[in-house]
Amino acid sequence: MHSEDLIEAIKTRRDNLDVTQEMLADLSGVGLRTLKQFESGKGNPTLETLNKLGNALGMELSYRVKEITK
Amino acid sequence: MHSEDLIEAIKTRRDNLDVTQEMLADLSGVGLRTLKQFESGKGNPTLETLNKLGNALGMELSYRVKEITK
DNA sequence: ATCAATAGTGCAATAAAAAGCACTTATCAT
DNA sequence: ATGATAAGTGCTTTTTATTGCACTATTGAT
């Protein structure tokens, strides 16, 4: 799956803000287990979960048209 | 939820490419019922579903840091 | 090398997404 | 206004995400 970028986005932002998984779980309302699973690449979170995490970190999810990179 | 933008992105792109829900369901491998539910705002799709739809339409999901708009 | 903090995992229960099917509603051209 | 195409809904089963708990592993500082 191509979700590594999303995972990296969350992890990087979380680290930059000096927020632990536990803090983010509390802040976002997402279960700690769910967050751990997502960040370790073992999850398939729902949009609601992705939004909760994004909101807590001041980020939003969007679709971007892929550019033709040759 | 703030997923209206994602819904609009999919619907708009799909319309622009003249693709029906049924065609997109087939192309993406997402069930027709699931797509209908998402587009009608009644769904909470998984990341896998969002990725499948995006891929079929040449789009990718990304997190963007929200700008402070005051 | 030890301790503390943070991150990752196994297991189990509950809630909910995914999917197909049959049906209804809306849209639009003729 | 009829027919055809596309979109939306009710119902159901199966699969899986979410969650908590208890535990292990990793990391980093002293």
Closest Cβ opposite residue B60 in set A2, A13, A60: A2
Distance, CA of A13 to CA of B41 (rounded, Å): 29
A42 touches chain B (CB under 8 A): no
Pick the closest to residue A6 from B1, B56, B50, B31 (CA basis): B50
Residue A50, pLDDT score: 98
For residue B32, say whether its CB is under 7 Å from any atom of strand C. yes
| B25 min Cα distance to partner chain A (Å) | 18
Please name the residue that has the structure tokens 């986005």.
A9
Q: Which CATH architecture has domain A3-56?
A: Orthogonal Bundle (1.10)
Q: Do B62 and A60 touch (CB under 8 A)?
A: no
What pLDDT digit, counting tens, does each position of A40-64 carry?
A: 999 999 999 999 999 999 999 999 9
Chain centroid to CA A23? 14
Q: Against a cut of 0.85, is the pTM above it?
A: yes
Tens-digit pLDDT profile for residues B11-33: 999 999 999 999 999 999 999 99
Share of chain A above pLDDT 90, in %: 90
- B13 to A48: CB separation less than 8 angstroms, yes or no: no
CA dist A30 and A67 (Å) reads 33
Pairwise CB contact (< 8 Å): A62 & B66: no
Q: Give the residue-averaged pLDDT of B38-42.
A: 96
Please state, in angstroms and rounded to a whole number, the distance separating the CA atoms of residues A48 and A18.
Answer: 23
Search chain B and give the residue with CA nearest A54.
B63
**Mean pLDDT along residues B31-55:** 97
Give me the residue label for tokens 């769910």: A34
- Is B59 part of the contact surface with chain A (CB cutoff 8 Å)? yes
pLDDT for B36 equals 98
Task: Quote the radius of gyration of chain A (alpha carbons, Å).
Answer: 12
Three-state secondary structure call for residue A29 = coil
Instruction: Tell me: pLDDT of B1 over 80.
Output: no
